[in-house]
Amino acid sequence: MVNSSVRTDLPRAPGLARSPWTWLLGVLVLLGLVAWVYELGHGLAATGMRDVVSWGMYIFTFAYLVGLSAGGLIVASSSEVFHIEALRPLARLGVLTAAVFSAAAGLMIIPDLGQPIRVLNLFIFPNWTSPLVWDVTIITIYFLFSVLELWVMVRRPEKKKTLTTLAFIGLPLAVLLHSITAIIFGLQMSRPWWNTALMAPIFVASAILSGTALIVLIAWILQRYNNLRIPAATWRWLAGLMVMALFVDLFFVASDYVTIAWDNIPKDRQVLDLILPGGPYQLTFWFEWVLGGVIPFVILASSKLRAKASNLALAAALILMGVYAFRIELVIPAFVNPLIQLPPGTSLGAVSTSGSFQLVGHYSPTWVEYLITVGLFALTALAIAIGYRRLHLGRTIQEAAEHVAD
Amino acid sequence: MARWGMVIDQSKCVGCWTCAVGCKAINDEPLGYWWNRVLTTEPDSSAQVAAPATPAVDVPHGTYPNLELAYLPLACQHCNDAPCEKVCPVGATFRRDDGLILIDYERCIGCRYCVAACPYGVRIFNWGPAKREPDFVIGYGEEYRTGGRLVFEPVRPVGIVEKCTLCVERVDANEQPFCVDVCPVGARVFGDLDDPKSEVSVLVNDEGAEQLLAELGTNPNVYYLPSSHPSKVSD
């Protein structure tokens, strides 16, 4: 056991305000805001969405952000609930990401609304048969819970009993958050691609997967650029968590593919053909299964490769891309071929040389959607960086790390 | 209390789009927006098809000389168990006691969950400011409220979801929906499904009118007489 005296020299990197990264992120946030103002002026006509593919980048990014918020709380709670000492150094960082990403998910919905000014109607006139209302409720609870847990961790670290209780609440809360977000899609019989009982399990698995990958990536950046030393045992646990989640996630998705392929029900099969190799959305398949699937799996399964933290970070980055591809694959192809698909199709709400109807849905995001989405990611990164500084997480991570045996 | 319904006789429909254009006229639907459409289909096929047999309007299905052609006029089905009403997070979409599915224009937040949930694809979101040529208000031209809730405006409001209201303002004034009035071949019949003697009830109960995608259990108040149904020639 190493002497646990605080090494104050460790997490002292240049101040945030002087870092060029802060400025870059700030500019991206600003550009996102400009794009949003433009969208407010022009309506959602400024996006690539129309009446056939009526949800786009905002919604699949929303689902992605919700997933990212899970990992943190799961890593943090697991260290307490399952007594995994090696994960304890990352507990506060985990809860911080949970708070920031759940807030970001909530924010992502705002530019998707046709009437953003009425967003409070969700709280004033909730219709409880709507899964969206449950989701708004659980995201709000989840965010407040993460803030509370973080507050106790930082300000009242001596209250061990309270922290244990919070950890025991946090774990089922994270599972509930993902199940309910999944149910927004999974309950819709109008979209055969979504309408599977596997939706909630897939969301929980992919949330644990992407959330853990996010923690790995942040931890690696801190170790690489902020002189923080993360114990080897912590890396081992994170690698194990990722490889298990990756396997379970892809297993669920594959089960869904097999059911659709074997049953061959036309409207289901039509969607699968869009994403399988050769289909117009095959890029999501390659990202999900190869770049974000097989390759990180090999890295994480090989005891030689996973021994290096930089390899883990690479696997985590690939996984994060793969899960984003999965969110795209989930949302867009579901809209492309509506149940009733007869000529001339659905009116687009726009007149162009190709007519005002669309029989097969098309979607590509506009610059407005890209800028707003990137801006929100930048804001999220800034919030994590500021939270990390203000709450002196570097110091506490280092302190806790000293207690972890390698 | 009546339960308003409509029966569309596919054996009479000639695919002229007068109902669709009439709908655009009475509701002042802007360029590129259609609340009511006439789809080209095959006789006796399910509305849910794997892939459209032909990409074009009015093109018959099959191989010469065995060609077949039928039309499916499609707008809101006014379901008794409406998925759009269930998913609306703010209760903006509501079902009136007489079966009309309406949208509260002042409450809708424009999340488009209803558009994703509707199996019939008949909900229309107003993506941008209404473009009209010529640019003046046509049709009903007034606000309309029912039970205090705003369910129609003369100019299509940006950022909310709209659809066929079954011409609520006309129905409440003891008139028929406009598409029923303008159909040149009388393919549309409007009436009270709760009255067993009404024409719509007879068509549903005795003549075999069917609901679209009935297997989904949405229980629409709009019914279809299949195109194989023998047209009754009176006199």
* pLDDT for position A403: 84
Q: Which residue of B has its CA nearest to A133?
A: B89
CA distance A257 to chain B (A): 18
CA distance A167 to chain B (A): 31
Q: Between B31, B112, B117, which is nearest A190 by CB?
A: B117
Chain A CB contacts of B108 under 8 Å are 114-115, 118
Residues ≥6 apart with Cβ < 8 Å to A182: A199, A200, A202, A203, A204
Between residues A170 and A403, the one the model is more confident about: A170
Q: Which amino acid is at A58?
A: Y
Contact present, A287 and A323 (Cβ < 8 Å): no
Average pLDDT on B76-105 reads: 98
Between residues B107 and A4, the one the model is more confident about: B107
Mutation to test the A interface, candidates B29, B108, B125, most A Cβ within 10 Å: B125
* pLDDT for position B53: 57
CA distance A187 to chain B (A): 9
pLDDT at B54 over 70: no
* pLDDT for position B78: 98
Q: What integer best gives the mean pLDDT of chain A?
A: 93
Chain B CB contacts of A180 under 8 Å are none
pLDDT band of B230, cuts 50, 70, 90: low
Mutation to test the B interface, candidates A60, A115, A336, A352, most B Cβ within 10 Å: A115
pLDDT at A211 over 90: yes
pLDDT at A2 over 60: no
Quick one: which H or E segment has residue A390? Answer: helix A367-390
CA distance B168 to chain A (A): 22
Q: List pLDDT tens digits, range A215-227.
A: 999 999 999 988 8
Q: Between B85, B120, B129, which is nearest A340 by CB?
A: B120
Q: List pLDDT tens digits, range A223-269.
A: 998 889 999 999 999 999 999 999 999 999 999 999 999 999 989 99
Q: What integer best gives the mean pLDDT of chain B?
A: 93
Instruction: Tell me the C-alpha distance between A177 and A140, whole Å.
Output: 10
Q: List pLDDT tens digits, range A151-187.
A: 999 999 999 999 999 999 999 999 999 999 999 999 9
Average pLDDT on B216-228 reads: 94
Q: Which amino acid is at A30?
A: L
Q: Which amino acid is at A229?
A: R
pLDDT at B67 over 90: no
Q: Which CATH superfamily is domain A19-339+360-402 in?
A: Formate dehydrogenase/DMSO reductase domain (1.20.1630.10)
Between residues A401 and A4, the one the model is more confident about: A401
Q: Where are the domains of chain A?
A: 19-339+360-402
Between residues A71 and A303, the one the model is more confident about: A303
Instruction: Tell me the C-alpha distance between A225 and A230, whole Å.
Output: 12
pLDDT at B229 over 80: no
Residue whose C-alpha is closest to residue A175's, from A67, A286, A326: A67
Q: Which of A346-350, B175-179, B183-187 is the least confident region? A: A346-350
**ipTM for the complex shown:** 0.94
Residue whose C-alpha is closest to residue A155's, from A92, A94, A102, A218: A92
pLDDT at B218 over 50: yes
Residue B210: alpha-carbon gap to chain centroid: 15
* pLDDT for position B112: 98
Tokens of B54: 């032909």
Cα angle A35-A37-A43, degrees, rounded to a multiple of 5: 95
* pLDDT for position A5: 45
Structural domains of chain B in order of their starting residue, each with its CATH number = 4-225 (3.30.70.20)
Q: Is A3 exposed, middle or buried (0-12, 13-18, 19+ CB in 10 A)?
A: exposed
Residue whose C-alpha is closest to residue B158's, from A117, A121, A365, A36: A117
Contact present, B92 and B102 (Cβ < 8 Å): no
pLDDT at A122 over 50: yes
Cross-chain residue pair B74–A340, CB shorter than 8 Å: yes
Chain B CB contacts of A348 under 8 Å are 32
Judge whether B202 is closer than 8 Å to chain A, CB to CB. Answer: no
Residues ≥6 apart with Cβ < 8 Å to A337: A267, A270, A271, A274, A360, A361, B51
Chain A CB contacts of B109 under 8 Å are 113-116, 118-119, 121-122
* pLDDT for position A115: 97
Average pLDDT on A188-204 reads: 96
SS (H, E, C) chain B: CCCEEEEEECCCCCCCCHHHHHHHHHHCCCCCCCCCEEEEECCCCCCCCCCCCCCCCCCCEEECCEEECEEEEECCCCECCCHHHHHCCCCCEEECCCCCEEECCCCCCCCCHHHHHCCCCCCEECCCCCCCCCCCCCCCCCCEEECCEEEECCCCCCCCEECCCCCHHHHCCCCCCHHHHHCCCCCEEEEECCCCCCHHHHHHHCCCCEECCHHHCCCECEEEECCCCCCCCCC
pLDDT band of A406, cuts 50, 70, 90: low
Cross-chain residue pair A347–B119, CB shorter than 8 Å: no
Q: List pLDDT tens digits, range A284-293.
A: 999 999 999 9
3-state DSSP assignment of residue A115? coil
CA distance B139 to chain A (A): 19
pLDDT at A1 over 60: no
Q: List pLDDT tens digits, range A85-96.
A: 999 999 999 999
Cross-chain residue pair A129–B160, CB shorter than 8 Å: no
Q: List pLDDT tens digits, range A7-42.
A: 444 445 557 777 889 999 999 999 999 999 999 999
Average pLDDT on A66-95 reads: 90
pLDDT at A305 over 50: yes
Span between the terminal Cα atoms of chain B, in Å: 34
